[in-house]
Each structure stands twice: as C-alpha cells, then as structure tokens.
Amino acid sequence: MERCMDCNSLLTREEIVCIECGTKVGGDERGVASFGATLVSLLFYASIAALVTSPFLDKGPGVMFCLMISCALLFIMRTAKDNAEKLKKR
Ligand SMILES: [Zn+2]
C-alpha cells in the first residue's frame, strides 16, 4: 500500500495520480529506475558472454578487462536495485 504525499490518502500500486487531490505519485521516477536496472543487467549479461568467449577469440577485449567490466556492472546493478527498493518503500 502507498500513500499520497500530499493528502495522505491510500493508493493502489497501479495508481500514478492521486484520486483525491491529483498529485503525481512518483511513477516516472520509479519507471526510470527500473529501466536503468534492466539496461545495466543486460550489459552485465553481455559482459559475461564476452568474458566466456574472449579466451577463444584472437581479437577483442582480454579476459581481465571483461572480468573488470563484469564486476563494475555487478556493483552498479546492486546499487540500482537498492535505489529501486528505496523508491518503492516511499
Ligand atoms: Zn492526494
């Protein structure tokens, strides 16, 4: 359950605009956060794929480089998820 920040009336999860006073209930912000999280996880899987295939390729990024990128993306992914959770709780 969520509450309107303006008039404190109860809202369902699907409601983006408060039915009582018409205030927007952080729908856009949450959408951007989940889009970013999806994008980062896609990049993460791409870097994992690159990590797995890089030893078999003559050209392309090295294993260490791929490993570094994967770790960095994993970190970003966790941070993005934490942010999304915080937005949901509000
Ligand atoms: Zn309201």
Q: Which two tokens stand for residue 69?
A: 């990128």
Between 59 and 71, the more confident residue is 71
Q: State in Å: Cα 83 to ligand 1 middle.
A: 24
Q: State in Å: Cα 82 to ligand 1 middle.
A: 26
Task: Go through the chain and tell me how many residues it has.
Answer: 90
For residue 11, which phi and psi values (nearest 5 degrees)?
Answer: -130, 150
pTM score of the predicted model? 0.50
pLDDT tens for each residue of 9-63: 888 877 778 888 888 776 556 666 777 778 888 888 888 888 888 777 777 667 7
Q: State in Å: Cα 22 to ligand 1 middle.
A: 6
Q: State in Å: Cα 24 to ligand 1 middle.
A: 8
Contact 20, 5 (CB under 8 A): no
**CA–CA separation, 67 vs 6, rounded Å?**
46
